Amino acid sequence: MGAALGTGTRLAPWPGRACGALPRWAPSTPAQGCHSKPGPARPVPLKKRGYDVTRNPHLNKGMAFTLEERLQLGIHGLIPPCFLSQDVQLLRIMRYYERQQSDLDKYIILMTLQDRNEKLFYRVLTSDVEKFMPIVYTPTVGLACQHYGLTFRRPRGLFITIHDKGHLATMLNSWPEDNIKAVVVTDGERILGLGDLGCYGMGIPVGKLALYTACGGVNPQQCLPVLLDVGTNNEELLRDPLYIGLKHQRVRGKAYDDLLDEFMQAVTDKFGINCLIQFEDFANANAFRLLNKYRNKYCMFNDDIQGTASVAVAGILAALRITKNKLSNHVFVFQGAGEAAMGIAHLLVMALEKEGVPKAEATRKIWMVDSKGLIVKGRSHLNHEKEMFAQDHPEVNSLEEVVRLVKPTAIIGVAAIAGAFTEQILRDMASFHERPIIFALSNPTSKAECTAEKCYRVTEGRGIFASGSPFKSVTLEDGKTFIPGQGNNAYVFPGVALGVIAGGIRHIPDEIFLLTAEVLDYAYKHNLASYYPEPKDKEAFVRSLVYTPDYDSFTLDSYTWPKEAMNVQTV
């Protein structure tokens, strides 16, 4: 994550597929461009024909079907008599997309395209990941989840309910793909910073897996979004006639745990022990205990805890190039003490230990503020995670007071409290240190602890800023322009997923999130990988697994024999 440098980071579509100097969505010239394979594509055999082909998003190419394909597949006449390259299709989509006024309308256009033509959808996304990521992921996906009852067009993913307990293996058999490598699952209880959205939370696994493909190159047909519907405590949704989920209070306790146990076992039985299971947007009460329960038994991780931690720590390490000192010279104050905060804190401790700092001393460098104030020893109702970071200090009620007392070098916001980083806090940070680190990581944008403009203005451009959702560039009165960094876990989880899938990794320890750039090397050195023999050229091996949005050829694999071998025998 280069985001903490305040310059932003551009994601290339995939290694070796940059589009040169062309506009990011312009058609390439000549026709064989950055998303076209050299030479003719090898024909892909199809069992489907006719109308079924044009209604299958994995197969449909729209007007890019050749005449030969149309005749052989029985779809001639079902498509207008026009033949388009994928470049022209991209141009058509972009012109329509740019005419939309709201981000939600843009989201609906892209999701509709995904339902119609999957290859073209990923061609659009990979033409400019930076442009489209805020639409298919945070912050727009949060708005889409809130309006899921209105934007729902076609089911994507598997909806499993508490009433299906005992029959999950049968439900997984209903999914049309057998070669699933990655599952993203949520129970919808803590969607971004928006709270309990129940069944509407399906937008999160769908969006996450879109980035698995767009940023990590994972084949979309090997991905499965799952929503575990155990009810919702959101009274507004329970009264909403458009709500698409179970209309009762959340089921908790043994019945909930039994459903999760059955789900994990059913996924592993169906798709193998190396199938990656990513937990997403579970409430704090369940997130930590489920991670601890399953992490050494299944190939799983919790993105809110471990993915967010990885990108945040990467940002802090990148910021050290600006502050020009070591990690051990820094002191951190967190606004929030939930999943994300604890994940970041634990990974910071690991990073500090690698610098030679004893664990007890490392935890003393991390101060956490929750809804009841500073977490201190002796405070009542502290869970195990919070006890580790409880300070030997009198109680302090507000974040402003904590910042003033501790004088941290970095403040990290992960509590989804909009405006928590007040102007006074930012002024204090700027007075304590020449280059204060200010990470407002809460999603969506409306929940950010402060805006980029506020940070740069109050700190006079000295703050090292990163946010969870994107902000536009900021120009101060002196004419200096700053491009805010984005500290989003989308910079981590797609690559981790591809590495896990490529190596067939069985378990995912926290150390792997400190080494995301070297995930395969780490896996083989520590006997975590199951793909043998170990590839000599790991980069080439990973490239061979990467999905491409290029269209396949569906013409028959026709050929002839030597003339003498085809002589017709006569009497």
Tell me: is residue 153 an annotated ligand-binding position: no
CA distance 411 to 418: 15
- Check residue 297 and report its DSSP letter: T
Gap between the Cα atoms of 479 and 369, Å rounded = 36
CB of 214 within 8 A of CB of 309?
no
Per-residue exposure over 151-171, b if at least 16 CB sit within 10 Å of its own CB, e if not: bbeeebbbbbbbebbeebeeb
- CA dist 65 and 54 (Å) reads 10
Structure letter (DSSP) for residue 170 = H
Helix/strand/coil percent split, the chain, to 5: 45, 10, 45
Positions marked catalytic = 137, 208
CA end-to-end span of the chain, whole Å?
77
304 among the known binding-site residues? yes
Residue count of the chain: 571
Q: Using CA atoms, how far apart are residues 482 and 466, in angstroms rounded to an integer?
A: 11
488 marked among binding-site residues: yes
**Secondary structure string (H, E, C) spanning 94-128:** HHHHHCCCCHHHHHHHHHHHHHHCHHHHHHHHHHC
Q: Which residues contact 523 (CB under 8 A, 6 or more apart)?
A: 499, 503, 505, 512, 529
The side-by-side arrangement of strands in the sheet containing 158-161 is 158-161, 223-229, 182-186, 276-279, 300-302
Q: Residue 216: which of 307, 91, 93 has the closest Cα?
A: 307
Q: Are 230 and 251 in contact (CB under 8 A)?
A: yes
Q: Which of 56, 48, 72, 127 is nearest to 94 (CA)?
A: 127
Q: Is 190 annotated as a binding residue?
A: yes
Element (H, E) at 151: helix 148-151
User: Structure tokens of 441?
Assistant: 């990581």
Q: Match 């680190």 to its residue by tokens.
A: 437
Phi-psi region of 188 (alpha: psi -120 to 50; beta: other; left: phi over 0): left
DSSP state of 305: I
Binding-site residues for a divalent metal cation, in ranges, read: 280-281, 304
Residue positions forming the annotated binding site? 190, 280-281, 304, 443, 488
For the annotated binding site for (S)-malate, the residues are 190, 443, 488
